[in-house]
Amino acid sequence: MADTIVTFTSRSLEEILESGGSQEWVLNRKNARKANYLVCARNANGEAGHGPGPEAHKSGFLLGKISGLGPGDTKPGRYIILISEYAEIDEPDLWVFGRNPVHYTTLEELGIDPDAVDWQPVAGKPTRPQKVSANVFDTAKELIAKQLGIGVDAVEITIRT
């Protein structure tokens, strides 16, 4: 089972740490919620406006412990993969996963040993507490119940972080 999300990013290590994670990703939330680790690989040809890092194109440069998922900063429907700890890695030619900039795999398949790195705490924003009105849940439960043709009391909402 995949325990790792790999992102192909143009953001620098400093940008990722400052924001508390790697962001603006379209994710398969079911797979993403099961992941424990984030690996970032350098996209040296990526999005303009981001400070490119010194790493070689396609090389893995960051390993992070995932602490949760949150909404991205700029684009609706995109997410930030939050990390609580990180380690700098140097994995040449790690990105071999094609055009989609998000890939689900395992650290074992990547050849990365999480016990062999120097973990550091993320000093940026490792978590983003969400303030959600109870009314949002009531509305969501009503919509789900109506769509399924069941009573509102039969609907439960669980949030995993």
pLDDT-derived band at 135, boundaries 50, 70, 90: low
Count other Cβ atoms within 10 Å, centred on residue 96.
Answer: 9
Nearest to 90 by CA among 48, 50, 125, 53: 53
**Domain definitions of the chain by residue range:** 4-121, 131-161
Contact 77, 26 (CB under 8 A): yes
What is the DSSP secondary structure assignment for residue 131, as one 8-state letter?
A: -
Nearest to 40 by CA among 78, 83, 9: 9
Q: What was the pLDDT predicted at 131?
A: 45
CA 21, chain centre distance (Å): 7
Alpha carbon distance 19, 126 (integer Å): 8
Q: pLDDT tens for residues 17-75?
A: 999 999 999 999 889 999 999 999 999 887 655 666 789 999 999 999 999 998 888 88
